[in-house]
A = this chain, B = another copy of it.
Amino acid sequence: MNRQVLLASRPVGIAQAHDFVIVTHALTALKAGEIRIANRYLSVEPAMRGWIADLGNYSTPVPLGGVMRSLAVGEIVESADPDWAVGALVTGWFGWQQFATVTADAIMRKVDQTGLPASLALGVLGINGVTVLLGLTLVGEPKSGDTVVVSTAAGSVGSAVGQIARILGCRTVGITGGPIKVAQCKDQFGYDHAFDYKTDGLVAALDAACPEGVNVYFDNTAGMISDAVYPCLAQGARVVICGTASISQWDPWPNGPRVERHLLVKRARMQGFVIFDHLDRWDSAVSTLAGWIREGKLHYAEDILDGLDACPDALAGIYRGENLGKRIIRL
């Protein structure tokens, strides 16, 4: 038998638990070329909000009644593809379900047995870490001594931005919500400055932390945090648009302070970054990141929930701000 989490309704705003349904059905025999994977870890990403939205996005929306799209780590338990042997631990697009029956194109890579936990393939050694390393370096172009500001600074993406920017010689400023996450930013992720945008006075805290302006802003939120950062951009600043987590709906389309004058006066740049355009650099990025983890330079936090029943509410929980680290479902 297989249990699966299906998308039951097209959510308005952030998907809630009632937008999903869990079903059980019998597994069928594999056809030639198919591979069956027993999932061990399922990923939960803020970007899933976009994957299930109807509106213009960077991937085809998950169909109603379809298994929720997700990255996962699992073990091959049956194979009708001679290139993929039973027993291999792999990561790829296996969805929110106990067993995935896929063809080889759903598999991204084998999870190396390097002594690092397999679940990292969903976080710091997966879409989060690779997004950060490539988005920060290819679009943010940080230079030694630059001030790098990060929104959602304690999250799975943000925490990697802050640490990788430090490894590259930058001063790092983390913006996050709540005292626990501020402490996590300073103690675990080594930010030079971190503050709570809810209580510390966003504009004043930014001014104090960035006396010479912001050279790189790695933006995961848009919204009020971005609106406070734009006026602080330094000449020639680069803004990496990696997510828009603070905007709960794009219909109707929200307004905000116009950005053009900031970009002109500061000769600054804003650019969107989506990791799926850069899959050819994935393996090399994973190997750089794994090296930094082994050297103790790159730390990570995981927020692990147990069992498939945790899936339906897991995405809404991220938008409630409840996770401390990369959210993962362990099966």
Task: A272 to B271: give the CA distance in the assembly, Å.
Answer: 12
Q: Are A261 and B244 in contact (CB under 8 A)?
A: yes
CB distance from A189 to the nearest CB of B (A): 24
What 4 A-B pairs come out closest when comparing CB atoms?
A: A264-B272, A263-B272, A269-B271, A222-B260
CB of A254 within 8 A of chain B? yes
CB of A312 within 8 A of chain B? no
Within 8 A of B (CB), among A213-245: 219, 222, 226, 241-244
CB of A256 within 8 A of chain B? yes
Q: Are A222 and B258 in contact (CB under 8 A)?
A: yes
CB of A199 within 8 A of chain B? no
Q: Are B255 and A242 in contact (CB under 8 A)?
A: no
Give the residues in chain B near A255, CB-CB below 8 Å. 255-258
Q: Are B266 and A268 in contact (CB under 8 A)?
A: no
Q: Are B261 and A247 in contact (CB under 8 A)?
A: yes
Q: Are B222 and A261 in contact (CB under 8 A)?
A: yes
Task: A261 to B264: give the CA distance in the assembly, Å.
Answer: 20
Task: A255 to B271: give the CA distance in the assembly, Å.
Answer: 20
Q: Are A258 and B254 in contact (CB under 8 A)?
A: yes
Task: A219 to B261: give the CA distance in the assembly, Å.
Answer: 11
CB distance from A227 to the nearest CB of B (A): 9
Task: A261 to B219: give the CA distance in the assembly, Å.
Answer: 11
Chain B proximity mask over A53-91: 1 for CB below 8 Å, otherwise 0: 000111000000000000000000000000000000000
Q: Are A263 and B241 in contact (CB under 8 A)?
A: yes
Within 8 A of B (CB), among A34-68: 56-58
